[in-house]
Structure 1
Amino acid sequence: MKHFDPPTTVEAVRSATAPGLCGDLDEDAADLASQAARCEGILAELPARADRDPAQQERAQLALDAARAARRHFLARHTEGVYDRLTQARSRYVRLPDLVFAAAETFPGLVPTRKQMAVEARCGQVDKDGREIDQGIFCGAVLRSARAGRHLIDAMLMPTPRALDLIDEFRAEGRSELDTLLLERRDQAAHVTFRNADCLNAEDDRLIADMETAVDLVLLDDQVRVGVLRGGEVDHPKYRGRRVFSAGINLKDLRNGAISFVDFLLGRELGYINKMHRGLLVDTHGAAWSDRTVQKPWIGAVDTFAIGGGMQLLLVMDRVIAEESAYISLPAAEEGIVPGLGNLRLTRYLGARLARQVILSGRRIAMTDPEARLVCDDIVPADGMDEAVGRAVRELAVPAVAANRRMLSLAEEPLDLFREYLAEFAVAQVARAYSDDVLAKVERRWQRSQARG
C-alpha cells in the first residue's frame, strides 16, 4: 500500500475522503485504505479522547467523520462484493463477530481492527472514539442488501459452537449451569432462569452469550417441547429474595463501556431473540422453512417487572404469564437508546398510539391496567405462578402448536421486514449509544447509584 503522510489540516482530511471510486472492488478498497490511513494519522498525533482539549477533540471528530463518509461511499457500491469475498460467495456461514473482524483484515480501513477495539474496550463509554459506529455502518450495509443480509441472518440462526459442545451433556443430564443462568429440563419443558442476581437480572454481554447457548440447547434437545423463561431471585435490598424477570440493559456496564455493539446491541437481535422467534437453522439446503429450522413455543413468566429488554422478550413469547403486582415498561426515552425491535413489534400488540406512549413517553403498564391484557395472557397471584406455568406448558406442548406459531410469525413479521428494520437499527442504535445525551444520562444514573452506596 502506498504510504501517505497524515494531512496537517482538516480541509486536507475532507479532500482525502472525497468520493473518487472507479468501480473495481480491489482498487476502491486500496483507495479506502489510504483515505482511512490519513485519518488515522491525525488521530495518532492527538492525545487519547479523555485528554484532548476542545480544539483537539473537534479535529479528531472531523477526521473520524471524514473516514466514515468514505466508508459509507465505498459500501454503497461494494457491499455485496465485500460480503461475497468474506464468505466465499456465500458458501460459508460466518457469524457476525467473526465477519466484522474478517472485514477488518481483508479490507483495511473498512472497520476497526481487533487492536483498535481492544484499546476502546479499556475506556469508559464517554472516553471512546466510537469505533463501534464504524462497525454499525458496515453491519447496516450488509443487512440492507437482500442477498447478503438474508445470508447473514441464516448464519446467526445456526447453533453456536459452545452449544454444540454442551448438547450431549444436556441431553443426558437435563441440566446446564452457565455463568448467568440455569437451564433445567422438567418433563416436556426446558426452564431458563436468569441468575444475574447482583443487577436485577439486567442484560450484559455475559448474559447475552449465555442466553444464546441456552436457547440453542432448548431447540436442539428432542426431549423438550416448550421453553420457559423466568427471572430468578435477586440481591437488591428492595427486592432481596424475590424473583425479578429483567431490568433490561445493564446501564452501569453501558457507562463503563462494557456493552458491546456486535455481541449485545445487534447480536442479541440476530442471535438468541431471533432464534426464539424464527427457530434454529439446522439445514441450509431445505426448501421449506419448516424443513430448515427447529422451532418450539416459548413461555415468559414475569415476576415483579420486565423493563426494557425484558419487555422486548415478551414480544416474541407465545404465552406470557405475569404476577398481578408486576409491571412492564420500555423506558427508551429515559435511557436515550432504541429499544431493540420493540418499535417494530409493539404496535402489533398495543396499537400505534399506545405504543408511542410506552416508547416515546415512558408509560409504564401495571398488571392492574386493562392494557396489560394486550401483552400478557394470564395475570395471576404470586403464589399461582408455578401452577399457571405448568398449565401453559401442557397446552403448548401439543404438536400442532409449533407449526401454527411458525405460520403466525411468518404473517406478522416477514423476514425482509425484519432485515430492513435491523439495517436501520444497526446504524441508529450505535449512534445513540455514543450520543451526548445518553452519555450524560448513564453518568447521572451511575452517580446516583454510587451516592446510595
Structure 2
Amino acid sequence: MLVIPPNNLMLRHGNRQVKMARLGGARTNRIENCIMRAKPAAETVQSASSGDDYQSWLTREPSFVTTGGGLDSDVAALKQFSDAGDGLLQLSTGGKGLDHKNLDLTRLIKDKIHDVRAAFLRVHAEAVYSSLTDTFAQPVRIQSLVDTAVRRYPGLLPSASKITEDATRSLKEKEGHERAIGLLLSHIFANPRAGIHLLQSMLRPLPDSVEETAKFSRDGVLDLGAAVLRRTGKAAELLMYNPEYLNAEDASTIGPMEQAVDVAILDPITEVCVLRGTPAQHPRYAGRNIFCSGLNLTHLYEGKIPYLWYLTRDLGFVNKIAHGLLDDPDAIDDPMPTVEKPWIAAVETFAIGGGCQYLLVMDYTLAEKSAYLTLPARKEGIIPGLTNMRLPRFVGDRITRQAILFDRRLEADSPEGRMIVDQIVPDGEMSSAVEATVQKLTSSGSVSTVGNRKALRVCQESLDDVRRYMASYAREQVKCHLSPALVRNLEDNWLKPKGKL
C-alpha cells in the first residue's frame, strides 16, 4: 500500500524542501484519495509497493560517484529510481497517462526524476557521450545520439515506446518526455569536449550528399521537393518551396534544406550560393515570391514539430551556412577544417521568424523595398534559434530586445532594417540585382572571400561560442516547447484569429 506523508512532513525535492502542509489539507486529501482509488497499471512497471512506497521514494535520492569507476553502478541506481517513479506515476493515473486531476502529484514525481537525472549528468555527461561515440572516434547526429542513449541508458531517458507514442499527440496533450532529451543535450553541450565533438559531427555532409552533388554537377538542377537547387552562372540558387504554408519551415523542409545546402557547398562549379523564396499559393500574394514565413505554427500546435527539430535545424543547415562543412574526418581537432561558400539572401515580401534568422548567417542580403523582417518568437512562446547570440552584432542590444521581446517589426528600407539588409532593391527587380551581386562577388574569384569570412568568424562566432549558447538553448527551449503558455499563445495569437478554433 502507498504511504502518504503526513501534512507536516518536510520532503526533499531536488535541492529544495517541500512542506506538504503548504498544499493545504483539502488538496492533500485529494491527492491521497486519488492514489487510494488508483488501479494497477496495464503496463508492467516496477511496483511502488515492493518496498518503494511514496514516502520512502520521494525522500530518497541516489548519490552518484564523483570519481572514476562508478558509471555502471550509478546507471543501475538511476534506472531503479526512475522505474520506481514510473510505477508511482502509473498508480496515480490508473495507467491512463496524463491526468490533469492529479497534476500536483504527477508534477512532484516528474520533477524529482528530472532532478536525479540532472545529478547523474553533472557527474557522467562526458562518460555517457564517450560511450555513445566509441570514445569520441565516431561522429554522431543528434537524433541518432538520442536514439542510442534511449537503448543504452534506460532511466536516463524515457523508453522508445513512450517517446514514439508521445510524438503522435497534439502539443497540448504531450506528456513531456522530451524534457529529459533537452536535459541530456544541455549537459553534453556544457561539456567542452563532448559539445564541440557533437557540433562538428553535425557539420558533416549527410550520407547522400556526395551522390546528390554529382547529380547537380551533371544536370545543373536538383529537385528535393521542399528545396530546389538550380545553377545560374557561377551561382547555385537554393529555392525554398513550401507554397501551401507561405514557405514555412516544418518537418517536411528540414531534410531537403540540409541536403541542398550540402550540395551547394560541395559542388565544385559553384562559387557563391543564393537563398531565395518561391511563389506562394495564397491569393493575397498572387504572383509574388515569398522568402520565408518561419515556423509552421499549425504543425507545431498539432504536435508535428518535435523538440529535436529545433536543434537539428539550427545545428544542421543553418550552422552549415554559417560555419561550412566539416569534410576531413582526420581534422576533428582543427578549429575550422571546413569547406564553405559565400551566401547571398534575396528577400522578397517578408522574412519572418526563421526566415529572418537566415539573414544573420549570410554574407550579403538583398531585400525588396517593401519587404519587412520580424521575429515573433515571444508571441509564439519559443526561443528564435541562435538569434539571441547573433542579432546583437547587427543591431545592438536594445533593438535586439525590442525585436525578440516586444515583436518590433523592422522594415527592410529603414535605418534599423539596413543594419541587417545590405542592399534595397526596387520591387520586381530582384533577379537582376542578384545577378549583379553574384558577378561582383566572383569577379576576382572566391578564394579570398572564403578566407575572409573564416577570419571574421574567428572574432565573431567561434564554434565554442555556439557550444556555450547551445548548453543554455537546449535546456530553455524544451521548457518553452512543453509549456502550457506555448499552447495558449498559439490558440490566442494564431488559431483563433484565423477561425481555426
Q: 1:233/1:12 Cα in 2 relative to 1: closer, same or farther (>3 Å)? A: farther
Give TM-score scaled by structure 1 length.
Answer: 0.94
| Matching residue within 448, 454, 457 for 1:409 | 457
Deviation at 1:214, TM superposition (A): 0.7
Distance 2:335 2:231 in 1: 26
Tell me the residue number matched to 2:385: 340
**Please, which runs of 5 or more residues in structure 2 have no aligned partner?**
1-44
Tell me the residue number matched to 1:5: 47
Structure 1 contact 307–330 (Cα < 8 Å) conserved: yes
Do structure 1's residue 256 and structure 2's residue 302 form an aligned pair?
Answer: yes
> For residues 122-161 of structure 1, what are the structure 2 equivalents within 5 Å?
122-161=168-207
- For residues 207-264 of structure 1, what are the alpha-carbon distances to aligned partners after superposition, in whole Å with 9 as ceiling and x for unaligned? 11111111111111111111111111111232233211111111111111111222x2
> For residues 184-263 of structure 1, what are the structure 2 equivalents within 5 Å?
184-262=230-308
Tell me the residue number matched to 1:279: 324
Deviation at 1:4, TM superposition (A): 4.1
Q: 1:301/1:413 Cα in 2 relative to 1: closer, same or farther (>3 Å)? A: same
Q: 1:49/1:392 Cα in 2 relative to 1: closer, same or farther (>3 Å)? A: farther
Indicate the RMSD between aligned Cα atoms, in angstroms.
Answer: 1.9
| Matching residue within 128, 138, 144 for 1:82 | 128
Deviation at 1:164, TM superposition (A): 3.4
Structure 2 counterpart SS, 1:370:
coil
Structure 2 contact 97–175 (Cα < 8 Å) conserved: no
Select between 441-450 and 95-104 the one with higher mean Cα deviation.
Answer: 441-450
Select between 170-179 and 280-289 the one with higher mean Cα deviation.
Answer: 280-289
| Matching residue within 47, 63, 66 for 1:20 | 63
Select between 155-164 and 209-218 the one with higher mean Cα deviation.
Answer: 155-164
Deviation at 1:51, TM superposition (A): 6.4
Deviation at 1:52, TM superposition (A): 2.0
Tell me the residue number matched to 2:343: 298
Deviation at 1:395, TM superposition (A): 2.5
> For residues 296-445 of structure 1, what are the structure 2 equivalents within 5 Å?
296-397=341-442, 398-399=445-446, 400-445=448-493
Distance 1:43 1:393 in 2: 60
- Whichever residue aligns with residue 106 of structure 1, its letter is R
Deviation at 1:377, TM superposition (A): 0.3
Structure 1 contact 302–323 (Cα < 8 Å) conserved: yes
Give TM-score scaled by structure 2 length.
Answer: 0.85
| Matching residue within 181, 206, 209 for 2:227 | 181
Structure 2 counterpart SS, 1:192:
strand
Structure 1 contact 261–267 (Cα < 8 Å) conserved: no
Structure 2 contact 335–463 (Cα < 8 Å) conserved: no
Structure 2 counterpart SS, 1:111:
coil
- Whichever residue aligns with residue 63 of structure 2, its letter is G
Structure 1 counterpart SS, 2:416:
helix
Question: Which has the larger Rg?
Answer: 2
Q: 1:81/1:379 Cα in 2 relative to 1: closer, same or farther (>3 Å)? A: same
Tell me the residue number matched to 1:265: 310
Distance 2:207 2:77 in 1: 37
Distance 2:138 2:413 in 1: 50
Structure 1 contact 10–62 (Cα < 8 Å) conserved: no
Structure 1 contact 101–113 (Cα < 8 Å) conserved: no
Structure 1 counterpart SS, 2:189:
helix
Q: Which has the higher helix share?
A: 1
Tell me the residue number matched to 1:118: 164
Structure 2 counterpart SS, 1:451:
coil
- For residues 171-222 of structure 1, what are the alpha-carbon distances to aligned partners after superposition, in whole Å with 9 as ceiling and x for unaligned? 2112111121211122211111111111111110121111111111111111
Distance 2:276 2:81 in 1: 50
Distance 1:410 1:257 in 2: 38
- Whichever residue aligns with residue 64 of structure 2, its letter is L
**Between Structure 1 and Structure 2, how many residues are aligned?**
447
Q: 1:111/1:165 Cα in 2 relative to 1: closer, same or farther (>3 Å)? A: farther
Structure 1 counterpart SS, 2:289:
coil
- Whichever residue aligns with residue 397 of structure 2, its letter is A
Structure 1 contact 255–446 (Cα < 8 Å) conserved: no
Structure 1 contact 49–129 (Cα < 8 Å) conserved: no
- For residues 82-134 of structure 1, what are the alpha-carbon distances to aligned partners after superposition, in whole Å with 9 as ceiling and x for unaligned? 01111111011111100111111111111233322110011001101111111
Distance 1:213 1:168 in 2: 13
- Whichever residue aligns with residue 421 of structure 1, its letter is Y
Q: 1:62/1:10 Cα in 2 relative to 1: closer, same or farther (>3 Å)? A: farther
Q: 1:47/1:188 Cα in 2 relative to 1: closer, same or farther (>3 Å)? A: farther
Structure 1 contact 297–402 (Cα < 8 Å) conserved: yes
Structure 1 contact 13–63 (Cα < 8 Å) conserved: no
| Matching residue within 119, 132, 147 for 1:73 | 119
Distance 2:147 2:98 in 1: 28
Structure 2 contact 248–296 (Cα < 8 Å) conserved: yes
Q: Which 4+ runs in 1 deviate beyond 6 A? A: 48-51
